[in-house]
Amino acid sequence: MKLYKNKLFAVILTVVAVVTFSSCSSDDDYEWRRGTLNLSTEFDKDPIYTDNKGRFSFSYDLRAEDIGGIDARRLDIVDVRSIESEVFLFYGELFVAGDHVNIRLSADGVNSRTLRMIVDNDKEAKVIDADYHLLQEFMSDMAYNLARRGQLNFYIDGELLDIPQQTYFDFEVKNIFDFEIRY
pLDDT tens sequence across 28-48:
799 999 999 999 999 999 999
pLDDT tens sequence across 110-149:
999 999 999 999 999 999 999 999 999 999 999 999 999 9
Question: From CA 155, how far away is CA 132, in angstroms rounded?
Answer: 18
Residue 83's CATH number: 2.60.120
Tell me which residue range forms the domain holding 93: 33-182
- In this structure, is residue 100 part of a structural domain? yes
pTM of the model: 0.83
- In this structure, is residue 80 part of a structural domain? yes
Handedness of CA 66, 54, 44, 120 (dihedral sign): negative
Our CA dihedral for 137, 140, 141, 146, rounded to 10 degrees, sits at 160
Number of separate domains in the chain: 1
- In this structure, is residue 15 part of a structural domain? no
